[in-house]
């Protein structure tokens, strides 16, 4: 289902996520239209959400890869109640599994009713959900599972 972001109708805005020494690269990437996943400079392991050190080898030398943002739905929920800051219920929260071996929590957008399922192929969209806050949201990869309209805006 569409996220239906109508800012004026919403009582509470999302709280922008903190940008710390661990997370700033991710959100700066989103602002630049890139999905960046943390990668260890020593052992090349990917991890998300970002950590202070590599979970695999303990190295503090961390970098990131820009990934293509194609993945599959690992699990999901449609949230109905209570109201929350940001999206208007009902909206879909999805856990996306990326080929890099990490999972990201996000929302499903630009989807026809009824297509949400485990293993649904999805691809990233960068959507400004409120002034100054852009998020990586996901739409079905198959155009047949998206509404017949211009994609990639998230609206």
Q: Rule CB under 8 A: say whether 95 interacts with other proteins.
A: yes
Rounded to the nearest whole angstrom, what is the least distance from the CB of residue 5 to other proteins in the complex?
11
Residue 74 found at the interface with other proteins (CB under 8 A): yes
Using CB under 8 A as the binding rule, whether residue 131 contacts other proteins is answered as no
* DSSP assignment of the chain: ------GGG-SSPPPPPP--TTTHHHHHHHHTT-EEEEEETTT--EESS--SS-TTT--S-EEEEEE--EEEEEEEEEE-SS--SSSPSSEEEEEEEPTTS-EEEEEB-S--TT---TT-EEEEEEEEEETTEEEEEEEESSGGGS-SS--SS--
Closest to other proteins by CB, 58 vs 85, is 85
Contact positions vs other proteins (CB under 8 A): 12, 14-18, 20, 22-23, 48-49, 74-87, 91, 93, 95, 102-103, 105-107, 118, 135
């Amino acid at each position: 289902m569409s996220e239906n972001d109508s800012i004026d109708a919403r009582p509470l805005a999302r709280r922008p996520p903190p940008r710390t020494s661990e997370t700033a690269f991710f959100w700066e990437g989103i602002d630049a239209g890139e999905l960046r996943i943390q990668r260890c400079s020593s052992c090349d392991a990917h991890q998300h959400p970002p950590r202070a050190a590599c979970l695999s080898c303990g190295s503090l030398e961390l970098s990131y890869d820009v990934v293509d943002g194609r993945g599959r739905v690992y699990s999901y929920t449609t949230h109905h109640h209570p109201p929350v800051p940001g999206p208007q219920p009902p909206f879909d929260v999805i856990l996306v599994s990326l080929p890099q071996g990490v999972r990201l929590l996000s929302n499903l957008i630009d989807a026809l009713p009824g297509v949400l399922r485990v293993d649904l192929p999805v691809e990233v969209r960068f959507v400004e959900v409120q002034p100054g806050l852009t998020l990586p949201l996901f739409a079905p990869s198959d155009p047949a599972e998206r509404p017949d309209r211009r994609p990639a805006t998230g609206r």
